[in-house]
Amino acid sequence: MFLYSLTLQQATGVVCAINGSFSGGKSQEIVVARGKSLDLLRPDDAGKLQTLLSVDAFASIRSLAHFRLTGANKDYIVVGSDSGRIVILEYNKEKNTFEKIHQETFGKSGCRRIVPGQYLAIDPKGRAVMIGACEKQKLVYVLNRDTSARLTISSPLEANKSHTVTYSIAGVDCGFDNPIFAAIELDYSEADQDSTGQAANEAQKHLTFYELDLGLNHVSRKWSEQVDNAANMLVTVPGGGDGPSGVLVCAENFVIYKNQGHPDVRAVIPRRPDLPATRGVLIVSAAMHKQKSMFFFLLQTEYGDIFKVTLDHDNDRVSELRIKYFDTIPVTSALCVLKSGFLFAASEFGNHALYQFQAIGDDPDVESSSSTLMETDEGFQPVFFQPRGLKNLVRIDQVDSLMPIMDMKVTNLFEEETPQIFTLCGQGPRSSLRILRPGLAISEMAVSQLPGVPSAVWTVKKNVNDEFDAYIVVSFANATLVLSIGETVEEVSDSGFLDTTPSLAVSLIGDDSLMQVHPSGIRHIREDGRINEWRTPGKRTIVKVGSNRLQVVIALSGGELIYFEVDMTGQLMEVDKHEMSGDVACLDIAPVPEGRQRSRFLAVGSYDNTIRILSLDPDDCMQILSLQSVSSPPESLLFLEVQASIGGEDGADHPASLFLNSGLQSGVLFRTVVDMVTGQLSDARSRFLGLRAPKLFSVMVRGRRAMLCLSSRPWLGYIHQGQFLLTPLSYETLEYAASFSSDQCAEGVVSVAGDALRVFTIERLGETFNETAIPLRYTPRKFVLQPKRKLLVIIESDQGAFSAEEREAARKECFEAAGMGENGKVEQMENGGDDEDKDDPLSDEQYGYPKTESDKWASCIRVLDPKTTETTCLLELQDNEAAFSICTVNFHDKEYGTLLAVGTAKSLQFWPKRSFSAGYIHIYRFLKDGRSLELLHKTPVDGIPLALCQFQGRLLAGIGPVLRLYDLGKKRLLRKCENKLFPNTITTIHTYRDRIYVGDIQESFHYCKYRRDENQLYIFADDSVPRWLTAAYHIDFDTMAGADKFGNIYFVRLPQDVSDEIEEDPTGGKIKWEQGRLNGAPNKVDEIVQFHVGDVVTCLQKAALIPGGGECIIYGTVMGSLGALLAFTSRDDVDFFAHLEMHMRQEHPPLCGRDHMAFRSAYFPVKDVIDGDLCEQFPTLPLDLQRKIADELDRTPAEILKKLEEVRNKIV
Amino acid sequence: MQASDRFNINSQLEHLQAKYVGTGHADLNRFEWAVNIQRDSYASYVGHYPVLAYFALAENESIGRERYNFMQIVGDGGQTKSGCGDGFGHNFLVFDGTVA
């Protein structure tokens, strides 16, 4: 089996982010690392974050930094990854790419303890960069310019110290003196000699300054001083005239200002009053903002509270450090303060946000200061504050993030054309169920009813130079309605259009006149109101029209074509006629090329399954230039011109080209390239769009021409980052459409469907999925479907959280104390912060749940109707019970029908050792047509039931290392059979016929059999590799797919002969099992597929995402990405893609210097999987390189692109 | 050092031990071995962000707090962290809420 791996949705979580001016000048951009990809974002004028570029780097990116050489106006990006290399990137605005300026190897690849890459620090003046490892190694590179102003990098200077752990590093701003780097370090050499732990207790963290002597080209330890043992982060303080220099040391509960030769200035971080006394407050992300006259820091705690830190200083003496409460937003992994007054908050889990500063926290608020720091016998006096609503920030945009995907199911619950992907996302109060549909999201601007059922709609401008459209013209079966666009859209009768007849086409002709084509003629409305009518000869009627701004071709019934042109005086003049052999099915004229008089090409589709290209040149007017036969009669034609591009923000560089698109009656979209000179057609591609013949329309998207195809659902064909994408829109079936531009809506589409006129815009181009989110209460764990009733049952649990009642009580108290009315607030609580809009002053989504002891749990079981997004039943578990597994089960006796089994644990704690007070299996009965649950009984078990599964009318439960079979009793579950021989803990169970596939938490799969006659469960095969399973899926009788904690996906298969032997053996291999082999099962499964995803996969499922598409394995990951593995069906394809991948590896090494093959084989050698993400980077290569690879493969670049498109279209 | 010493197995080992932290030796005791494994594991968790996020989810902590906790363990080899007990707590901590 060979698989093609393709990432459908890039990771949406953010590891780290930096902001700067990467394209140069005044623009402000953000670079975010999303695990293995690097994105460039920019807030647009409307305050929406736009992704300008996204590059898959095939490495695990761990740190980012940016620097600017003195006097330059552009920032460079430094990337620390697992490649054992330091990489400096520059953003090339013209080509819209990251360019690798430098790549220096310093060590082994992989995330190792002593190989640098974990930390990066920059000298604030951009003269040096330090890259550090968790332990021992730190390297300093000197950055400089050569004579032609190019960036140079020195060989590395070592600042190593063995037996030393590094917690954080930062550059110290000391103006133009020698660069200094600060590091929090701990020397463990003594502790390691002492196994009693005494020395380890006494080990002390130090703050060390490393000075780079630019003259001697040498790094030395300049200064080292003890620092708080809970220190975790350093923040650079401006220096060299702008501030006092030095660093802020963030430690648990404290922020300390430190500098060489300066006494410590310490202030306590204010605490929330509801925080247990045992918990500290830790700073997890920081940002510094510097203006000419002042600077301040924003530090965010692990609970989401942001504090503004300011320093009172007199030159380089700091007299006071103030920490003032600023605002509370969800916990971030990175904060970026943009010079344009925005704050980008990259959330750890859940959606990211862009905030605008309303104020910078100058108003009085709770403040802790170094001067008021009180030391008592028990330590420092804490300062308390109560979180409040946003005062200084206002959220203006959100970027959806699926991180983390906890569970996923692909199914067509809504009976739409394509299945939906149901994902459980998020953590704690920000959890949600997200329903993903392949396609672009649209936002509907207006829907209005029309007096009849319209057949077509157009928009026209009055003048070619107008920015906005003037009229919307709607055609009915026997009338035409004209609507004028202004402040409001209203019907007008003075437009000059004939309203007693249907229309075939309405457009702007020449510079400023309008044309209406109706069945009996052409009406030409001049700007001054004069009307010219051209009537059809005899009783013939016009059936089809094709036009551009200067040319019109009509087809009369019977097959005659008449060609008109606009002459110099603006008159429409008949130029030529041509008789076709039969009726014309459709026509289109290419748009007039820039600076030309006319377009040369007319495309005519006929009912004899052909498309002809006719010339419109005066020399060979109406000559057939080329002919293309198609599989069924064409219904609609559209020329789409792609302008030449040399890259830039909208794409890779490519020459101008003209595409002819045709929608065939079979529902296929047929696309060919038209030679701009000869009119020859080549490179045909076809794609099935839906059950109806696609109608094609030209619309504007981001200022460029795009194609809207209306089949049984609408599709949009557009160019995004240099690639042509054809993506469905998540909208209902439309009849006819036109682009629409007005004051309120610059780039919209007006369409008709049924008897309504709809105006909508298309959002967030480039995305594969659009989502609908339904908020949940706690971190979701798993869910099951009730396909018949179309309901979902979800289990949610949170550790260290108060249950709903306790929270409610605490909140009441809090409001009473604050003297606020509680009207409406408690109700809000009941919804678990379900409300997106934050009227609630203390919404959990924004502030998080209050923390409590780690043995406290809050958990619930929810029945949800995804269609109405309504929770029909919510059972909150009592007494610190938390649900971990769920399944539906039909027991033998059909008394209750389908039941729900939920495995729970009580007072579970992980530290210091795993402990719990009890485990239970709850059995629930469905009531009210499955919309409600009733507890039948609760069976105590001796472990935590982490896996449940129905098996032959009984319930299989994995309870710790025991696999047990239960039957339903009146008062409790009854044990029937068990096997205690599993190595660690059972986490997954799948069954098929009499086989049971058990996944162990550390030891991969075990294949078991149940013998009914002997009532025995035994293991007949297992895996030889220890795999820390995180997800499993049953593929076929002998094959399982699994994913491990280290980011690998693998398939194992029982060899055919072993499988046959076991099936034929009357004892089913039992005798062999009894003998055993080296404490394992007698047979071993073979690993047949292995692939490193680079992200923890949490769910796997086999599904087809498109009707008629291939079944593939879909997976979801912690970082919020979705991917697919598609099995190849032919050997030729395997050879082709294997070679393409090989050439891509050679010619296009990944961005961050990680070897592609090594990355995909990070833990085990990659086996039989071709990386589609790498292959899909082919179009981003320079043209000559594309041609070179294509030559090696004996193909043309276009054929390769076609192949890539084909395989992608099989998946999504 | 004599020329022959350079090829001596002991001097090669010493070189390796100096260069690659964690290279074992013949007299390695259980404690040293365990501490070394701890450091390797936790440094790896801190390096792999998705794994860190996975732990953070299991414990319902922020990723930043989880990183801090893990780095503290890298520092002391898992000896003093009050929450870490036998020093192997995390190695076997898994996502769905159990420890083997």
Between chain A and chain B, how many beta carbons pairs sit less than 8 Å apart? Answer: 198
Looking at residue A1069, its pLDDT comes to: 66
Residue of B nearest to A945 (CA): B98
Looking at residue A818, its pLDDT comes to: 64
Judging contacts by C-beta atoms under 8 Å, the chain B residues touching residue A117 are 47
Cα–Cα distance measured from residue B50 to residue B57, given in angstroms and rounded to the nearest whole number:
10
Give the best residue of A911, A917, A1049, A1117 to mutate against chain B (max B CB count within 10 A).
A911
Average pLDDT of span A782-794: 92
Nearest CA to A1125 among A29, A3, A363? A3
Cα–Cα distance measured from residue A149 to residue A128, given in angstroms and rounded to the nearest whole number:
16
- pLDDT band of residue A655 (cuts 50, 70, 90) is low
Inter-chain residue contact A1001 with B97, CB threshold 8 Å: no
Looking at residue A644, its pLDDT comes to: 63
**Shortest distance, CA A135 to any CA of chain B (angstroms):** 9
Contact A493, A482 (CB under 8 A): yes
Looking at residue B1, its pLDDT comes to: 53
Inter-chain residue contact B86 with A162, CB threshold 8 Å: no
pLDDT tens by residue, A221-241:
999 999 999 999 999 999 988
Nearest CA to B47 among B32, B67, B24? B67
**Shortest distance, CA A654 to any CA of chain B (angstroms):** 37
Cα–Cα distance measured from residue A858 to residue A877, given in angstroms and rounded to the nearest whole number:
7
C-beta neighbour count of A621 within 10 angstroms:
15
Give the best residue of B14, B25, B65 to mutate against chain A (max A CB count within 10 A).
B65
Inter-chain residue contact B53 with A348, CB threshold 8 Å: yes
Element (H, E) at B52: helix B49-59
pLDDT tens by residue, A752-787:
988 899 999 887 787 889 889 999 999 999 999 988
Which residues pair with residue A1087 across a beta bridge? A1052
Inter-chain residue contact A135 with B62, CB threshold 8 Å: no
* Residues A486-510 as b or e (16 or more Cβ within 10 Å = b): eeebeeeeebbbbbebbbbbbbbbb
Residue of B nearest to A114 (CA): B21
Give the best residue of B36, B55, B95 to mutate against chain A (max A CB count within 10 A).
B95
pLDDT tens by residue, A879-899:
999 999 999 999 987 788 899
Nearest CA to A921 among A890, A980, A964, A862? A964
Sheet holding A962-968, edge to edge: A945-951, A954-959, A962-968, A973-979
Of residues B91 and A496, the one with the higher pLDDT is: A496
Average pLDDT of span A368-383: 84
* Residues A914-933 as b or e (16 or more Cβ within 10 Å = b): bebebbbbbbbebeeebbeb
Structure tokens at A318: 């700091």
pLDDT tens by residue, A979-1026:
998 999 999 999 998 899 999 999 999 999 998 888 999 899 999 999
Judging contacts by C-beta atoms under 8 Å, the chain B residues touching residue A188 are 75-77
Contact A1203, A1210 (CB under 8 A): no
CA B22 to chain centre: 9
Inter-chain residue contact A1002 with B100, CB threshold 8 Å: yes
Residue B98 reports pLDDT greater than 70:
no
Inter-chain residue contact B79 with A191, CB threshold 8 Å: yes
Average pLDDT of span A378-403: 90
Side-chain-side CA neighbours of residue A157 (13 Å): 22
Contact A61, A55 (CB under 8 A): no
Inter-chain residue contact B53 with A1096, CB threshold 8 Å: yes
Cα–Cα distance measured from residue A605 to residue A672, given in angstroms and rounded to the nearest whole number:
14
**Shortest distance, CA B11 to any CA of chain A (angstroms):** 19
Looking at residue A260, its pLDDT comes to: 94
Average pLDDT of span A830-841: 43
Give the best residue of B42, B44, B52, B62 to mutate against chain A (max A CB count within 10 A).
B62
**Shortest distance, CA B10 to any CA of chain A (angstroms):** 20
Percent of chain A with pLDDT over 90: 65
Inter-chain residue contact B53 with A1118, CB threshold 8 Å: yes
Looking at residue A618, its pLDDT comes to: 87
Residue A663 reports pLDDT greater than 50:
yes
Average pLDDT of span A856-875: 94
Give the best residue of A16, A134, A941, A1097 to mutate against chain B (max B CB count within 10 A).
A134
Judging contacts by C-beta atoms under 8 Å, the chain A residues touching residue B32 are 192
Of A564-568, A680-684, A821-825, A1051-1055, highest mean pLDDT: A1051-1055
Give the best residue of B37, B60, B86 to mutate against chain A (max A CB count within 10 A).
B60
**Shortest distance, CA A188 to any CA of chain B (angstroms):** 7
Of A73-77, A722-726, A1178-1182, give the lowest mean pLDDT range: A722-726
Inter-chain residue contact B65 with A944, CB threshold 8 Å: no
Inter-chain residue contact A912 with B82, CB threshold 8 Å: yes
- pLDDT band of residue A60 (cuts 50, 70, 90) is very high
Residue A831 reports pLDDT greater than 50:
no
Judging contacts by C-beta atoms under 8 Å, the chain A residues touching residue B22 are 113
Inter-chain residue contact B50 with A111, CB threshold 8 Å: no
Residue of B nearest to A190 (CA): B76
pLDDT tens by residue, A493-544:
888 888 899 999 999 988 888 999 999 999 999 888 888 899 988 888 999 9
Judging contacts by C-beta atoms under 8 Å, the chain B residues touching residue A331 are 62-64
**pTM metric for this prediction:** 0.91
Looking at residue A1065, its pLDDT comes to: 81
Looking at residue A838, its pLDDT comes to: 40
Residue A841 reports pLDDT greater than 60:
no
Inter-chain residue contact B89 with A910, CB threshold 8 Å: yes
pLDDT tens by residue, A943-966:
999 999 999 999 999 999 999 999
Inter-chain residue contact B97 with A1118, CB threshold 8 Å: no
- Least CB–CB distance from B64: residue in A82, A195, A285: A285
Looking at residue A743, its pLDDT comes to: 84
Looking at residue A1068, its pLDDT comes to: 64
pLDDT tens by residue, A1095-1154:
999 999 999 998 877 899 999 999 999 999 999 999 999 999 999 999 999 999 999 999
Looking at residue A911, its pLDDT comes to: 77
Looking at residue B4, its pLDDT comes to: 64
**Shortest distance, CA B34 to any CA of chain A (angstroms):** 11
Cα–Cα distance measured from residue B80 to residue A194, given in angstroms and rounded to the nearest whole number:
12
pLDDT tens by residue, A91-145:
998 888 999 999 999 999 999 999 999 999 999 999 999 999 999 999 999 999 9
Inter-chain residue contact B77 with A191, CB threshold 8 Å: yes
Of residues A379 and A534, the one with the higher pLDDT is: A534
Average pLDDT, chain A: 90
Of residues B81 and A1023, the one with the higher pLDDT is: A1023
pLDDT tens by residue, A902-918:
999 999 988 777 889 99
**Shortest distance, CA A699 to any CA of chain B (angstroms):** 41
Cα–Cα distance measured from residue A604 to residue A694, given in angstroms and rounded to the nearest whole number:
16
Side-chain-side CA neighbours of residue A834 (13 Å): 13
Inter-chain residue contact B51 with A1046, CB threshold 8 Å: yes
